[in-house]
Structure 1
Amino acid sequence: MHAFSQLLDRLSLEPRRLAKEALLVRYFGETGDPDRGYALAALTGDLTFKHAKPALLRGLIGERTDPHLFALSYDFVGDLSETIALMWPGGAESGEEARVKAPALSEVVNRLESAGKTDVPRLLTAWLDSLDEDGRWALLKLVTGGLRVGVSARLAKTAVARLGDLDVSDVEEVWHGLEPPYEPLFAWVEGRAERPSSKDPAPFRPVMLAHPLDESRDPDLLPAGDFAVEWKWDGIRIQASAGHSDRGEHVRRLFSRTGEDISKAFPDLVEALDFDACLDGELLVMSGGLVRPFADLQKRLNRKTAGPKLLKDYPAAIRAYDLLFLEGEDLRPLPFRERRRRLESFVGGLAHPRIDLSPMVDADDWEAIAAARAHPHEHLDEASAEAVEGVMLKRWDAGYVSGRPKGLWYKWKQEPRLIDAVLMYAQRGHGKRSSFYSDYTFGVWRQGEAGLELVPVGKAYFGFTDEELREIDRFVRNNTVNRFGPVREVAHGPDKGLVLEVAFEGLNRSTRHKSGVAMRFPRISRLRWDKPPSEADSIVSLEALLPPMDE
């Protein structure tokens, strides 16, 4: 546990990706089994402890400290695990005593997994008493699953691959056939054993990603005729994989782009996977062949299951981009032109209402591609055009390569929409930003009963530099007019407040929001210290951007 806590501490303070990767490689190389496997599981989100919940942790610290003092400290720190780690009385001294008293990571995992609900408080209390401050923080992050140290699952797998002469795609190919603590995986990458065998009939295949198109140089360097042009749909990239096991069972799975199995949340789509193949496509909500707004898809996302009403009101569908595997044949080495031909034949043969083919864009030079990107309404029906966020360019002769290879795929998104909004509320962030007010709720003007008033239209927590973060945080602290738990209300009115230029990808109607609108991917574009709040945009400006109401 001591080595794991040191790893998390260093990762949380290290902003550079390659440096994080080096820290992980060193940890995995120096730490033995099974501890390193459980650390990998924690970093990839594959460890859960059903009885160790935040409410339990609040109860434990409430027994050791003044609840009012804890509430004030939690409000200041902004992170539950960090607050408890700092306030927990006693504990081991740092240094050698902490190392000696610290339980092994595998001991913590194994005992929590086998412990009953009434045993968990006793276990956690004993460990918190024996650990130093860093160890307590690491323990609490582990049991709550909220590591937030800037390490993605793919980065952790990349570090494992670097222990040997492997690519991260090699690790991802076998990942879903393995379980923590992944001892066969480490034995393979270190050259001590053969590649772990997997007879999974419906595995996840590592996805191929695109580079953003550089408008200032790429059109001058890339021959447009070398690329197929597709619409970039405003949905969720998914992979649909299905096949028969050795026992004849037909296994069907739906994966997110990161390899998370989301099948249980989309049983209506899983039923449609009546094939032995692997499709790459976009998850959308569709009705009558028309794409519904992204806000409708959001109602299906981040759910473990979906009830009958949700399935009926928001029917999910797949718009297919690519065919990766078909009846035992791996198609990924084939050029895209051939895969596209096979895909068209395959989808046409399915004739299933929940799976259709993403149409190609009829454009063979850069002028035509730019025009299609800017004006999809000239090529598609109104509903579909509203669901387009740009175009994709894929080399006709390119195989399907995992990761983000250079020169093969490009994405050319539409220009983001911009509004000027007024900062209304702020809340502390998490991780390295937990000491700053970095989550901002902003609003625009509308005509109320008493005259002009601000109505919240969105929330953003990125898009600004560290220097800008410090400036906004200072403004929030100096202009707080009210507090609601961890949230501060910031002075806002026609003559006082901070104007934020907000960029966003799309806009939809929403009955959940007071303003009646919901933004897609809002982010702070720049700070408008020069602009008085009275000149910020109105709700009328946003309503003009909404897609038309259904008839």
Structure 2
Amino acid sequence: MKAYAALLERLAFTPGRNAKLALLQNYLTTAPDPDRGYALASLTGELDFAGAKPALLRALVSERVDSELFTMSYHYVGDLAETIALIWPGQGEARDVPLSEVVERLNAASKTETPAMIADWLDALDPSERLALLKLMTGGMRVGVSARLALTALAGTGDVPLDDIMELWAGFKPPYEPLFAWIAGGPKPEPTIKAPFRPVMLSTPNDYEGLSALDPADFAAEWKWDGIRVQAAAHGYERRLYSRTGEDISAAFPDIVDRMEFSGALDGELIVRRADEVAPFGDLQKRLNRKTASKALLSSHPAALRLYDILIWDDEDMRELPFHERRARLEAAVTTLDPLRFDASPLLDFDTWDALAAHRADPPAAVIEGVMLKRLDSAYVAGRPRGPWFKWKRDPMIVDAVLLYAQRGHGKRSGFYSDFTFGVWDDDRLVPVGKAYSGFTDEELKRLDKFVRQNTVERFGPVRSLSPELVVEVAFEGLNRSKRHKSGVAMRFPRISRIRWDKPAKEADHLTTLEAMLP
């Protein structure tokens, strides 16, 4: 656990991608089996311990620490795992608990055995190791490592390409010993699933100025729909729906999977569609991150797949074909599929960048985020190659709002107030409309933190209520109606784009401004 705890701590305080990769590669090449496999599983979200939940951890710490002291400490720290790690009064003999011991015993333990087992580990570990243990059990890593970054580091420890690892990844189970053996030079494991994930091709951002140097005749364009990118893979009776990172989300979307009556792999955007209209992203959000979907939800929020590309069809790999040929194959394939669940994203008619800019400025639906551009001669290449595909997003929506609440951040931001709730005017009162924790520099964060501490009105645990004085310019990608928010609206991807130290709070925007932006 010492090496694992050191890895998590260094990852949390290391901002650069290449530096994180170096830390991961060093751990994966020096840690023993099966510890390194379980560490990789924790970083890719492949571990789940049903018996180790926050309620159990709260109960354990309440047996060792005065409840009032713990509550005050938790309110100050703002993170349950961090608070327990710091306040736990160790009573056992210190020892280095192997990561494999934790994972394997948690998986095998009964509900009644789990509490005493966790308490014994907490007694034997120092605070940083306790924090690593608690993060492992609860899944709250917060170290800035995505599943793809972890697998990129793994690929860097040997000569196996990342794309090859990604294609077989869904068939491996922790602690991945055949995978490590393959990367070290051993034989390639046999595929354990017939409908594997194929790494997706991604686009790079561009704008009018960047596109003006290119010939529009070389590109096809289509709408950028506001859903989530997925891949539908099927072979025989095996059907799987994957997220863009390779996570199997099939169980949450049986209405799509049951209609995948083909053999191949299709790339597209997962949406909620009613009749011929694409619903706002908020409707799709109600279907995401679920292990199952109820009959009522399937009926009220029917999922569909708007297809962009075709990778495999009837055992023919089409990824090396140019886009214009793949597009023709896709249009032919769509005619064989259920039209209620599958259609092809339409291509746009344009011959100049000005014509495309006109499409972008006036899309036929509010749920469209912009346009996608694809070179007609481009193969389907995994990753984000520069040049073949571009995304030209619509300009973000912007409003001026007033900061209302601030909360402590996590990881390297745990000492700062970095999560901000903001509001706009509704008649003569401010109503919250969103929350943001990005968009500002480190220097601006320090100044914001100072403002919070000097303008606190009330404290609610780790949250501070602020004097309504500071205006921030908030940029966001979309707006939906919401019954969950008192304001009646919910922002998509809000971030603070500018701090208006110069603007009086009374000049911030009104709720009617946001309501006018609703689709």
Length-normalised TM-score, structure 1: 0.92
CA contact (8 A) 2:212 2:353 kept: no
The CA deviation string for residues 28-85 of structure 1, in whole angstroms up to 9 with x for no partner, is: 1111211110110011010111101111111222222222111111122122111111
CA contact (8 A) 1:283 1:316 kept: yes
Residue in structure 2 matched with residue 299 of structure 1 by the alignment:
286
Residue in structure 2 matched with residue 517 of structure 1 by the alignment:
489
User: Letter of the aligned partner of 1:515 in structure 2?
Assistant: S
CA positional deviation for 1:280:
0.4
Q: How does 1:328-343 map to 2 (within 5 A)?
A: 328-343=315-330
The CA deviation string for residues 165-223 of structure 1, in whole angstroms up to 9 with x for no partner, is: 232212101101110000111111110x111110422111111111111444x224322
User: Letter of the aligned partner of 2:143 in structure 1?
Assistant: V
CA positional deviation for 1:364:
2.5
User: Given the alignment, which residue of 373, 376, 391 partners 2:363?
Assistant: 376
Identity %: 62
- Separation in structure 2 between the aligned mates of residue 545 and residue 301 of structure 1, nearest angstrom: 25
Q: How does 1:201-350 map to 2 (within 5 A)?
A: 201-216=194-209, 218-244=210-236, 250-350=237-337
Residue in structure 2 matched with residue 247 of structure 1 by the alignment:
none
CA contact (8 A) 2:256 2:304 kept: yes
- Separation in structure 1 between the aligned mates of residue 466 and residue 458 of structure 2, nearest angstrom: 7
- Separation in structure 2 between the aligned mates of residue 277 and residue 478 of structure 1, nearest angstrom: 60
Secondary structure at the aligned position of 1:475 is classed as helix
- Separation in structure 1 between the aligned mates of residue 353 and residue 476 of structure 2, nearest angstrom: 25
Specify every segment of 5 or more residues in structure 1 that has no aligned partner in the other structure, as ranges: 245-249, 378-384
CA positional deviation for 1:314:
1.1
**Using a 3 Å threshold, how does the CA distance of structure 1 residues 189 and 371 change in structure 2: closer, same or farther?**
same
Q: How does 1:111-510 map to 2 (within 5 A)?
A: 111-191=105-185, 193-216=186-209, 218-244=210-236, 250-377=237-364, 385-447=365-427, 452-492=428-468, 497-510=469-482
**Using a 3 Å threshold, how does the CA distance of structure 1 residues 186 and 286 change in structure 2: closer, same or farther?**
same
CA contact (8 A) 1:224 1:364 kept: yes
- Separation in structure 1 between the aligned mates of residue 475 and residue 190 of structure 2, nearest angstrom: 47
User: Aligned pair count?
Assistant: 519
CA contact (8 A) 1:212 1:410 kept: yes
The CA deviation string for residues 126-152 of structure 1, in whole angstroms up to 9 with x for no partner, is: 111111121111111111111111111
User: Letter of the aligned partner of 2:477 in structure 1?
Assistant: E
CA contact (8 A) 1:336 1:397 kept: yes
- Separation in structure 2 between the aligned mates of residue 483 and residue 301 of structure 1, nearest angstrom: 33
Secondary structure at the aligned position of 1:349 is classed as coil
CA contact (8 A) 2:76 2:461 kept: no
CA contact (8 A) 1:506 1:520 kept: yes
- Separation in structure 2 between the aligned mates of residue 371 and residue 390 of structure 1, nearest angstrom: 11
- Separation in structure 2 between the aligned mates of residue 30 and residue 351 of structure 1, nearest angstrom: 51
CA contact (8 A) 2:35 2:100 kept: yes
CA positional deviation for 1:17:
0.6
- Separation in structure 1 between the aligned mates of residue 204 and residue 470 of structure 2, nearest angstrom: 34
CA contact (8 A) 1:279 1:324 kept: yes
- Separation in structure 2 between the aligned mates of residue 289 and residue 215 of structure 1, nearest angstrom: 31
User: Letter of the aligned partner of 2:314 in structure 1?
Assistant: E
CA positional deviation for 1:292:
1.5
**Using a 3 Å threshold, how does the CA distance of structure 1 residues 65 and 369 change in structure 2: closer, same or farther?**
same
CA positional deviation for 1:371:
1.5
Q: How does 1:11-30 map to 2 (within 5 A)?
A: 11-30=11-30
Specify every segment of 5 or more residues in structure 2 that has no aligned partner in the other structure, as ranges: none
CA contact (8 A) 2:259 2:338 kept: no
CA positional deviation for 1:440:
1.2
CA positional deviation for 1:304:
1.8
Secondary structure at the aligned position of 1:3 is classed as helix
- Separation in structure 2 between the aligned mates of residue 160 and residue 221 of structure 1, nearest angstrom: 38
- Separation in structure 1 between the aligned mates of residue 390 and residue 201 of structure 2, nearest angstrom: 11
- Separation in structure 1 between the aligned mates of residue 322 and residue 190 of structure 2, nearest angstrom: 28
- Separation in structure 2 between the aligned mates of residue 203 and residue 352 of structure 1, nearest angstrom: 24
CA contact (8 A) 1:79 1:431 kept: no
Q: Is residue 88 of structure 2 the alignment partner of residue 108 of structure 1?
A: no
CA contact (8 A) 2:424 2:508 kept: yes
CA contact (8 A) 1:91 1:132 kept: no
Residue in structure 2 matched with residue 60 of structure 1 by the alignment:
60
Q: CA RMSD in A?
A: 1.4
CA contact (8 A) 2:74 2:461 kept: no
User: Letter of the aligned partner of 1:444 in structure 2?
Assistant: V
User: Letter of the aligned partner of 2:501 in structure 1?
Assistant: W
CA positional deviation for 1:253:
1.3
User: Letter of the aligned partner of 1:283 in structure 2?
Assistant: L
CA positional deviation for 1:430:
2.0
CA contact (8 A) 1:78 1:435 kept: no
CA positional deviation for 1:426:
1.6
The CA deviation string for residues 466-500 of structure 1, in whole angstroms up to 9 with x for no partner, is: 121222222122212122333221112xxxx1111
Secondary structure at the aligned position of 1:350 is classed as coil
CA contact (8 A) 1:91 1:131 kept: no
